[in-house]
Amino acid sequence: MAPAAPMHPTPPTAPSPLAYNLYIYDRAGKCLHYQEWHRPKSVRQGAGTQADDQKQMFGLFWTLSNFCATLNPKDPAKSQLGQLRSVGDGCGFSAFTASTYKMHFLETPSGVKFVLNTARDVGSCRALLQSLYDDVFVGVGVRSPFYVPGEGVSCDQFDGAVAALLAQRGLLPAV
């Protein structure tokens, strides 16, 4: 009598969300969208204001990208620190794990950047971030008739669509 094998793994029903917050930046470094689900350490204890927090986050991943491109141990012709690089040039980074959270990063060829902070033990979110770009950002955000390139994404369905995608992948408790 063989036990029935699960058809697909059940997403973990965590008491607190596994996804903490999400930032979306455009090519110029402006934060187009910010959404949070779990942030016990308030912004005021960190950077100070919401705007400063977003600028610091941009500075962090911009510097990390330059750092990785300069350090790249596989490319003999790697760029030097401070040299201008275009989008996608040189080695990029996909995630870092700090002692309390894990930050996942994706830069699309058009320069749109996604930053997702999650719990430490979450696996790779590359496919999730790509899907966030394809289905939610392009599918819902950009196609909205009120969307102005360069301005923030601010349509009601966008927040809901982001939360739905994350819940589907098990990072947020199912609504």
Partner 1 sequence: MASLALTMYVINKSGGLVFSKDFAEVARVELNDSLRLASIWHSLNAISAQLSPLGGCNGIQLLEADTFDLHCFETPTGTKLLLVVEPQAQGVPGLLARIYELYSDYVLKNPFYEVEQVIKCELFDEALGALLKQQGGL
| Residue 122 in the binding site for partner 1 (CB under 8 A) | no
| Residue 91 in the binding site for partner 1 (CB under 8 A) | yes
Enumerate the β-bridge partners of residue 166: none
Sheet holding 102-107, edge to edge: 31-36, 19-25, 113-118, 102-107
| Residue 73 in the binding site for partner 1 (CB under 8 A) | yes
Asked if 28 contacts 50 with a C-beta cutoff of 8 angstroms, the reply is: no
* Total interface residues for partner 1 by CB under 8 A: 41
CA 86 from chain centre, in angstroms, equals: 20
| Residue 87 in the binding site for partner 1 (CB under 8 A) | no
| Residue 97 in the binding site for partner 1 (CB under 8 A) | yes
Figure out which of the listed residues 1, 74, 84, 175 binds partner 1, where binding follows CB under 8 A: 74
Shortest CB 45 distance to partner 1, Å: 7
| Residue 57 in the binding site for partner 1 (CB under 8 A) | yes
Round to whole Å and give the CA distance between 26 and 99: 28
Round to whole Å and give the CA distance between 25 and 37: 18
Round to whole Å and give the CA distance between 117 and 133: 16
| Residue 34 in the binding site for partner 1 (CB under 8 A) | no
Catalog residues that contact partner 1 under the rule CB under 8 A: 20-21, 36, 38-41, 45-47, 53, 56-57, 59-60, 63-64, 67-68, 70-76, 80-81, 91-101, 103, 117
